[in-house]
């Protein structure tokens, strides 16, 4: 199949590195004589025809920028057959041969829905939660972890100065990857994640009391937003240990900021791989990172994939957070 015109959209929560992926797609595709169109505001923009032609200069000076220059949205109407068909008609009217979708798990399902109506879709995983099961790594994850680590390092200074416990809530409603990795990186006494059912007395209070006996005077507890409320955890810790405790919710600061080197390189590689897929004449594929290599699989298998929890990493955290 000869690809002449492709379109790109970013959907769902923004992730640092999305712009790097867009830049790579545009520049590589144009070098191969393929016209590239940007779609503003995700599937909503595709559905309403908010499409514009991109060129080499359209993506100048965006490599280092967080967020997405194409903007993003969550479109309820696209979740209906009527909404999907509106997007299909736009693709046909503008003679778009393929759509490259950059986003998280919801965006992957949106790409699958569009592909089922005959539109060739290529998916690139980009979400700070790192919860796209078909890929070991999603664009934005490294930046989000580094942001969280930097914030907790600053919080630790005041925790140490006042000999208190800081309970820090990070993003991750269904996936605790940010909490787990950040917790290890900052030396947290306890890490609460949605993948593990925890005994509060045993896994938090007892650990704090034990390390206190060993001479520790300030404590960090990392909480994934999907596992518990940090404000409630802080209150319980203070009541049961007598240690002055405060909670901090990092929130959307984790989504922002200039992408790290890793996110820029992975995003650029994934963007180029998406164009390669189309040039090979393949349809409806999901780009993925596996064992450090950029590969691809079918959209259907990507949607059906189940997230594998890193038990070894979690157990390592338990061994060293004392």
Give the position of tokens 């998406």. 274
Closest listed residue to residue 220, CA positions, set 186, 270, 267: 186
The CA distance from 201 to 270, in Å, is 44
Give the position of tokens 């040039």. 279
The angle that helices 261-279 and 141-162 make with each other, rounded to 10 degrees, is 160
Contacts of 195 by beta carbon, 8 Å cutoff, 6+ apart: 175, 176, 309, 314
Q: Catalytic one among 129, 131, 142, 263?
A: 129
| Contact criterion met (CB below 8 Å) for 127 and 144 | no
The CA distance from 169 to 245, in Å, is 13
| Contact criterion met (CB below 8 Å) for 46 and 90 | yes
The CA distance from 29 to 39, in Å, is 16
129 is known as an active-site residue: yes
The dihedrals phi and psi of 290, each to the nearest 5 degrees, come to -135, 120
| Contact criterion met (CB below 8 Å) for 42 and 133 | no
The residues annotated with a catalytic role in the active site are: 129
């Amino acid at each position: 199949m000869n690809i002449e015109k492709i379109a790109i959209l970013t959907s769902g929560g923004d992730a640092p590195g999305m712009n790097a992926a867009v830049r790579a797609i545009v520049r590589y595709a144009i070098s191969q004589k393929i016209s590239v169109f940007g779609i503003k505001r995700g599937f909503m923009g595709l559905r309403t025809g908010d499409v514009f032609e991109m060129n080499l200069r359209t993506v100048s000076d965006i490599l280092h920028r967080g967020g997405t220059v194409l903007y993003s949205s969550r479109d309820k109407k696209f979740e209906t057959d009527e909404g999907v068909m509106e997007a299909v008609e736009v693709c046909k009217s503008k003679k778009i041969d393929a759509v490259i979708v950059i986003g998280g798990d919801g965006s992957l399902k949106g790409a699958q829905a569009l592909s089922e109506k005959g539109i060739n879709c290529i998916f690139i995983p980009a979400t700070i939660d790192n919860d796209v099961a078909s890929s070991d790594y999603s664009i934005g994850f490294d930046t989000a972890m580094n942001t969280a680590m930097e914030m907790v390092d600053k919080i630790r200074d005041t925790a140490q100065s006042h000999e208190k416990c800081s309970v820090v809530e990070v993003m991750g409603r269904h996936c605790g990857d940010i909490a787990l990795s950040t917790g290890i990186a900052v030396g947290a006494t306890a890490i609460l994640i949605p993948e593990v059912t925890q005994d509060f007395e045993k896994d938090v209070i007892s650990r704090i009391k034990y390390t206190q006996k060993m001479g520790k005077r300030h404590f960090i507890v990392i909480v994934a937003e999907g596992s518990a409320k940090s404000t409630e955890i802080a209150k319980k810790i203070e009541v049961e240990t007598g240690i002055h405790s405060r909670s901090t919710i990092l929130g959307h600061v984790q989504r922002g900021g200039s992408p790290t080197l890793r996110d820029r390189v992975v995003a650029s590689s994934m963007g180029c791989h998406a164009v390669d897929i189309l040039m090979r004449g393949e349809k409806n594929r999901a780009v993925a990172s596996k064992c450090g290599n950029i590969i691809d699989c079918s959209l259907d298998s990507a949607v059906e994939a189940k997230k594998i929890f890193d038990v070894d990493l979690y157990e390592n955290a338990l061994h060293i957070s004392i």
